[in-house]
Amino acid sequence: MTAPTSKCDVLIVGAGPAGMMLATWMARMGITTRIVDKRGSKIYAGQADGLQLRSLEIFDSFGFADRAVKEANHLLEFCMWNPGEDGLIRRSDRVPDVPVGLSRFTEIVLHQGRIERFFLDHIKKHSKGCLNVERGVLPESLHIADTCADHSADNYPITVQLRHLSEEEAKPAQSKASGVSDGLFRSNLAEDDTDDLIGRSREKEGQTEVVQAKYMVGCDGAHSWTRRQLGFQLEGEPTDYIWGVLDIIPLTNFPDIRMRCAVHSATSGSLMVIPRENKLVRLYIQLTEIKPDASGRADRSQITPDTIIRAAQKILAPYTLAYEYCDWWTAYQIGQRVGTDFSYQERVFLAGDAVHTHSPKAGQGMNVSMQDSYNLGWKIGMVVKGLAKPEILKTYQSERRRIAKDLIAFDHKFSRLFSGRPAKDVMDAEGVSMEEFKAAFLKGNLFASGLSVDYGTSMLVAKPGDATEEGDGTDVSSSHSEKAVGKQDLATNVRLGMRFPSYKVLNQSDARPWEFQPKLKSDGRFRIIVFAGDVVEEKQQARLQAFCAKLTASAFLAKHLHKDIHVLTVHSSKRVEVELLRDFPDVLHPYDEKTGWDYDSVYVDDESYHEGFADAYKGYGVSRESGCVVVARPDQYVGHIDSLDEEGYAGVETYFRGVFVG
């Protein structure tokens, strides 16, 4: 009996946050996609839950950040508790949980099941119901043809055999020790069960199919089956630190139970408090009494909610801690590993836990994983559509493997400081200095926010420098004869390689204030942001007209307006002194015969009636007189900056010639 065969552009293996994010891009860009997951049901509790600033900005670019913000618990303050001279814990510091002034968001926590729900709703809406997660489906063979370099539209070099499990087979086994659902089956203390699942399922017949794909992305977790097929490794070592996790409604007199806290006890280990939605609190609890065996791995059978809460009680003493309701629990052993390769010939990619594993306490796992596939998705989409050169796919490994290495280094340092015993005094060389811990937290905070990401030079980021040095070593320099180099000094706070920041601006046509960054929607389009300057001035108006005339007349770019390249404008004149139809060339607010003028593309940096004056030009570091032009990638990262004139137009076109097919 031959298995049925079908084709798709992109096959995604794994429907956790990394896979969901990739599917979201595919839905937004209209790419034929399948997404499969070996589990038979989605996650309803536990798992990762911290959403960092950049993740919320990304959600906002899709349009569903508000759902997360509304339902989540918000973390505002981080409190550090350490032993005093009497050996009892006391609060030594309070600091803002995220640096002030970085973003319109704060860190929030919400369980992964809700976040997956937001993705699913968005995918359903934008794929018109065509793209659905296929659960209880797993790959069992992968074959890659040697025609990978041929990117013509009818080449499907990837062949995957998929196996459909029955509902019973796809259900994860739960620990017998308690009635509460646990996450041990996904913990690094457990063996992977993929081969088991395949083995059990193979005993039955007629449940396989063959899929031929142009691209494949393994978002299949730390035990990644895809990674194993490719023969790629995770490099790094586990540590001896073993931690338990409890999601409970606490009964306690500990005063900071609704704050994010790091508690270092004198001799009983450390604990982190993450207050969550619906009165829940997540506790990360160091299990100092459980040690790894000779194989280096902790004995799972010793770990129960009961042993974990007892460890927590010791750490928090003299404060009391108990619970009536436990929502979820798990345990893990800290280790930091990063993948050797993030892609096989730019045809099969790995993202998320498949290429980096680390401790969960810094709230990075889900965030960095989603940001991996947020980086990758639009690149695949543009190549599948025949718009962008396939070589842009190389920037995925260059950009994201570099981030993964930084993450692992950060986590290594933070875990050591957090799991270590506090120093008794300055002579206690084996103990951890609480000053050092605080300094590491504050420095790590910016990294953890996701806003310090700074991609190196490449065909997608027109900054000077060496492409191999600024990334992970992959060569991602432009193959185009001429290399664009952005003029950073024209927009000093819009950094080449970093995400486009946000300030409030007003819609020119209706005076409504908007955060500007979410206007750079994640819809698969590049953006030219015209900082038009003071358009009331004759000379500046002439520069604007000259730039727009070149843009409209361009044989190379005009055909991509506004389908693949969207144009947004922010000017710095007084709102009431200019008019949309009189003072701005048509290309900045195109006319449609059915729906009239576009009133949503021209903005002004001016005083609002109810929300003050954001002074966005100052924030962006752009001259209010002469303005400039910024090119943002579809993921809001800044690709190019140039002057608002004919010469600047030439730079913009050079940038796009390095990216677009022609």
Amino acid at 128: K
Looking only at residues 81 through 100 of this chain, which bind its own copies when binding is defined by CB under 8 A? 94, 96, 100
**Residue 309 or 460 having the CB closest to its own copies:** 309
Shortest Å, Cβ 2 to its own copies: 48
Q: Which stretch binds its own copies (CB under 8 A): 69-77, 296-304, 330-338, 404-412?
A: 69-77
Task: Choose, by CB under 8 A, the member of 129, 231, 318, 596 that binds its own copies.
Answer: 596
**Residue 101 or 231 having the CB closest to its own copies:** 101
Shortest Å, Cβ 256 to its own copies: 9
Total residues interacting with its own copies, rule: CB under 8 A: 43
- Residue among 186, 260, 276, 421 flagged as catalytic: 276
SS3 category, 643 = coil
- Count CA atoms within 13 Å of residue 314 on its CB side: 15
Residues 18, 41 contacting (CB under 8 angstroms): no
Tokens 């600033």 appear where?
A: 53
**Residue 168 or 609 having the CB closest to its own copies:** 609
The whole-angstrom separation of Cα 599 and Cα 527 is 17
**Residue 192 or 600 having the CB closest to its own copies:** 600
Mark whether 54 is an active-site residue: no
Amino acid at 533: G
* 318 contributes a contact to its own copies by CB under 8 A: no
For residue 610, the tally of other CB atoms under 10 A from its CB is 5
Shortest Å, Cβ 509 to its own copies: 4
The helix (run of H) or strand (run of E) holding residue 274 is: strand 270-275
Looking only at residues 275 through 294 of this chain, which bind its own copies when binding is defined by CB under 8 A? 275, 279
Tokens 């099969």 appear where?
A: 348
Q: Which stretch binds its own copies (CB under 8 A): 22-30, 164-172, 508-516, 525-533?
A: 508-516
Task: Choose, by CB under 8 A, the member of 208, 336, 458, 507 that binds its own copies.
Answer: 507
Task: Decide: residue 319, CB within 10 A, 0-12 exposed, 13-18 middle, 19+ buried.
Answer: middle
Please provide the distance, in angstroms rounded to a whole number, between the alpha carbons at the two ends of the chain: 46
- Residue among 215, 241, 284, 455 flagged as catalytic: 284
Question: In this structure, are strands 348-350 and 208-218 parallel, antiparallel, or unpaired?
Answer: parallel
Looking only at residues 109 through 168 of this chain, which bind its own copies when binding is defined by CB under 8 A? none
Looking only at residues 220 through 259 of this chain, which bind its own copies when binding is defined by CB under 8 A? 249-253, 255, 257-259
The whole-angstrom separation of Cα 22 and Cα 218 is 10
Shortest Å, Cβ 609 to its own copies: 4
Mark whether 276 is an active-site residue: yes
- Residue among 238, 360, 422, 518 flagged as catalytic: 360
Amino acid at 298: A
* 619 contributes a contact to its own copies by CB under 8 A: no
**Residue 121 or 196 having the CB closest to its own copies:** 121
**Residue 404 or 616 having the CB closest to its own copies:** 616
Shortest Å, Cβ 502 to its own copies: 14
Residues 488, 465 contacting (CB under 8 angstroms): no
**Residue 121 or 579 having the CB closest to its own copies:** 579
Shortest Å, Cβ 88 to its own copies: 16
In Å, what is the CA distance from 623 to each residue of 173, 531, 644? Answer: 61, 9, 11
Q: Comparing C-alpha atoms, which of 634, 635, 660, 522 is closest to residue 28?
A: 522
**Residue 512 or 563 having the CB closest to its own copies:** 512
Tokens of 154: 């009818």
**Residue 556 or 591 having the CB closest to its own copies:** 591
Mark whether 282 is an active-site residue: no
Task: Choose, by CB under 8 A, the member of 511, 536, 549, 650 that binds its own copies.
Answer: 511
Tokens of 504: 């409030």
Task: Choose, by CB under 8 A, the member of 231, 510, 538, 555 that binds its own copies.
Answer: 510
The whole-angstrom separation of Cα 414 and Cα 317 is 24
The helix (run of H) or strand (run of E) holding residue 235 is: strand 234-252
Task: Choose, by CB under 8 A, the member of 127, 270, 509, 626 that binds its own copies.
Answer: 509
Enumerate the H helices of 302-458 as residue ranges. Answer: 305-316, 365-384, 394-419, 434-449
Shortest Å, Cβ 592 to its own copies: 9
**Residue 1 or 100 having the CB closest to its own copies:** 100
Shortest Å, Cβ 124 to its own copies: 18
Q: Which stretch binds its own copies (CB under 8 A): 48-56, 194-202, 376-384, 588-596?
A: 588-596
Q: Which stretch binds its own copies (CB under 8 A): 347-355, 477-485, 541-549, 594-602?
A: 594-602
Amino acid at 445: N
The whole-angstrom separation of Cα 570 and Cα 604 is 5
The helix (run of H) or strand (run of E) holding residue 225 is: helix 225-230
Residues 660, 385 contacting (CB under 8 angstroms): no
Q: Which stretch binds its own copies (CB under 8 A): 15-23, 303-311, 579-587, 643-651?
A: 579-587
CA 147-150-155 angle, to 5 degrees, is 75
The whole-angstrom separation of Cα 54 and Cα 372 is 12
Cβ-count burial 407-430 (b if 16+ within 10 Å, e if not)? bbebbbebbebbbbbbbeeeeeee
The residues near 471 (Cβ < 8 Å, ≥ 6 apart) are: 395, 397, 398, 399, 401, 402, 455, 456, 458
Looking only at residues 519 through 578 of this chain, which bind its own copies when binding is defined by CB under 8 A? 576
The whole-angstrom separation of Cα 337 and Cα 223 is 12
* 77 contributes a contact to its own copies by CB under 8 A: yes
Mark whether 325 is an active-site residue: no
Catalytic residues: 49, 276, 284, 360
Task: Enumerate binding residues for its own copies (CB under 8 A).
Answer: 66, 70, 73-77, 94, 96, 100-101, 106, 249-253, 255, 257-259, 275, 279, 324-325, 507, 509-512, 576, 579-582, 593-596, 599, 608-610
